[in-house]
Amino acid sequence: MQGIYVNSRRPKSKKEVKEVIATEPHNVFLEATSIFGNEYDGCITLAPDGSYTFVGPDPHTSRKFYGTITKRNGIIKVS
């Protein structure tokens, strides 16, 4: 599970993540949290194609919602 930031802060809900992805995807950043590595860390628009599972609002202290961001051929979806 990766952490996520929207507009330089933790999102309040998965709905907020969806809204920002739809209008300003360049303001969504994934945070690598695995001690084993191999997780993307950075802006979702620059991420390689694939699926990214996130937890929010904070992966370390508060896990209230979960979601998956899928990026294929420049199209980004949240589920």
Q: Where are the domains of the chain?
A: 3-78
Query: What pLDDT, on the 0 to 100 scale, is given for residue 52?
Result: 97
Tell whether the torsion through CA atoms of 35, 32, 49 and 69 is positive or negative: positive
Query: What pLDDT, on the 0 to 100 scale, is given for residue 37?
Result: 86
pLDDT in tens, 3-19: 999 999 999 999 999 99
CB–CB of 77/70 below 8 Å?
A: yes
pLDDT in tens, 15-71: 999 999 999 999 999 999 999 988 999 999 999 999 999 999 999 999 999 999 999
Q: Is the pLDDT of residue 77 over 90?
A: yes
State pTM to two decimals: 0.92
Strand partners, 50: 71
